[in-house]
Chain A
């Protein structure tokens, strides 16, 4: 049986006056791409932020490979890599220095840092620009640095939050290919998006969130049901829930 990598159980979270999450539950497994779908403001990013310990849950619980986000946040952070749409990297460091910095901070052992960094540079085909300052890189190259930074410590759980929203077609395709490749390596890939076409092509299972609640969950085929595609199904579910 495939191991549950991330378990979210009746998760609630309020940000300021807004109750963003209202009892979300789902499991994401190792070796699958799990889609977290929903319109803007549904609570996808907040859910991911709770999973990676940036935010604490108000109620409910989140476990990553058996580590509770509240009681063992450091252990969770060591096992998670996050890629977001906002490609924040240090402009005055080179691509390699950016990756090395995060390798060291995520606890890659001193003797292994160079090997690990070289491995991700090679894996993401970054050798041609690895020693250039980040400020001189293109958006696609920067996104590669952001991915490299997120995976340099070889985390078993990878989370992608709208990773292609600021990228061109070619760069977006590389991201999608990377997600598939990571799944093949046995990683648990959580893919948060509102681009349902991407989700339908990539995800093994999906959960649709609307207004902080889960409105559908299952394999992509199950959620699509009798509709022509996931988008039709999504629109019908959201309309019914509103």
Chain B
């Protein structure tokens, strides 16, 4: 039987605490679209994506209205395009443009999969795709790109790390007149997951079914509000319990929406990504949860411990609520997308070295960080290498999404607006890693890879 307290709790979560379904992402395999003629390949891609996703936005909106819960984003992820480039040859930017076109026509707000997986080396198409990333992101609006440069099994491809440092910088340069936005759509991964519904890193792995629907839920505001109501004397394990219960409720809602959307669209339900994904809106911040636990400001000593507990409790609560959990699943810490992180970065409480430590215990990595416009490609590569090493050794996903603020003064801020938010420039270590980055080669896989 429904009771008044439960009903009011759900409504308060949605209305006051920004509970929402962050994204429904349809993953589509493009392997059957490959053709030795790039134009034919593009045509097949357009037809397949259009046929599969033409109802995605309408279905999302009708479910949102039925349950009164916002579904913020509808998105598409596709097979890493480097595989198609390997077969067709030609200019990979053509693929980016066809993806952008179909995304606009079906009304989704991002399409991910302009990607290459090069953790162990470059295959046909990989280098061509990576070289084309800056132009692809500068000439499209909705295409997102990701490159996997390392994994626990394979080690780190340092040639790819070097190359990606250059590409991140070039991408920012090519979009310098538009707030360097290109770099915000480019992620460099270690241990990338094949069923991630969140952008900019979503792509549809080759081990996946032809077409699936993945869901990303979100509710940092709900968690913060639950903690705010707790006694100041509550112990850390009591707080972890409260977070688990909240995560359970949030995830159950995601499961309901996901199962129903998949049924309406006639595709299998893939996974729920149990993530706390912040937005710049007031009250929707992961940093504020950490502050509610008892830190004066995010970035203070103790932040890593609080985040580790939060990340673990979210997973424990969510796992039982869903029939299939996957994706990145954990707390996100994208600096420009989180009001509390932005404030902490401005005040100097949060520095990049602390963020790096935090990435060892949460779901992804150095995400949406604005760095000085004169940062060299080698320094960006070195940041990527550090982050990839954390991911490789800890058998977890890590990622780097840096935005070099080309042409901005040192005390400047980049303001993207919308979900991407805004952020001040973060200071980096001024000493050069150039000699190491130029060595290239591979960092061999660690002992952790030998599990068999």
Same complex for A and B? Answer no
| Residues of chain A at the chain B interface (Cβ within 8 Å) | none
